[in-house]
Structure 1
Amino acid sequence: MIRLFILLATCAVNLPALVLARHPNVVILLTDDQGTLDANCYGSADLHTPHIDKLAATGVRFTQAYAHTVCCPARAMLLTGRHPQRNGVHFWTQGDMNAVKGINMALEEVTLAEVLQSASYRTALYGKWHLGAHRDYGPKEQGFDEFFG
């Protein structure tokens, strides 16, 4: 009986590590107006970005991508995995969450946050949303548990 207890206790101690192994942290940094050489990890010799470099060294870096010239379509592409002609966000949307409904990313669009939620992740967005011009189209309606911006 004592051996069984020790075996179960040992398994229970390792359980958090097993859960973490199945659900690694996912952090996506999206910045506006950043050039391809604005971080050391992408080849900058002039700018010093030690924290970004450390994240890049221990994580996954995107090295080939397409970007839209306006922030809203670029954000929608990152969150939906769909080109602006498919996700419906073609240009800049208003940032006023109390504005009249009109220019928004459709609620039917499945976002990365919604997919992560379905896999038992907690999701958060900190910063600029700019994908909905009305409170009904905010980040919490598109899969984010927490939003500050």
Structure 2
Amino acid sequence: MGSKLRIHQADGCDLNAVAALFNQYRMFYGKPDDAAGAARFIGERLALRDSVIFVAAAFQEPADAAWEDAGFVQLYPSFSSLSMSRLWILNDLYVAKEFRGHGIGRMLLNQAKEHAVRSGAAGLTLSTHPGNLAARRLYESAGYVEDSEFVCYNLSLQNTAR
């Protein structure tokens, strides 16, 4: 890539950058463009500190180029009752299309792992679309193992009266 890369934990100063990447991530999964909603959601996560977000920025030559937002990973805290320990849910990992194939996703995964280790967690858990083969290869090459022990279920509350 002929560039430098930096990864740091996002804070309020990173809202616009992370929100733009988050909006692209959602569109990758077929959701409609919603920049305002993405900014609101990420702004809440940063303000409430109920997730941890790491953002990657790339600097490409020539010397007058600027840092460009390349990707992000978002983690949510959780716990395992069976192991009686902290876990992190790796909920979102996204690398902008123009930066794919340069190891940024792997670097973000490594940053997530380092954070989990520093926090004393027993592990990380994630899910991905079965057809997202590139992501699955990345996760497996980073040591993640497909769960064959448990079946996951979801219950949507979108249309439930409150």
TM-score of the pair, normalised by structure 2 = 0.28
User: Where is the strand percentage greater, Structure 1 or Structure 2?
Assistant: 2
Of structures 1 and 2, the larger Rg is shown by 1
User: Where is the helix percentage greater, Structure 1 or Structure 2?
Assistant: 1
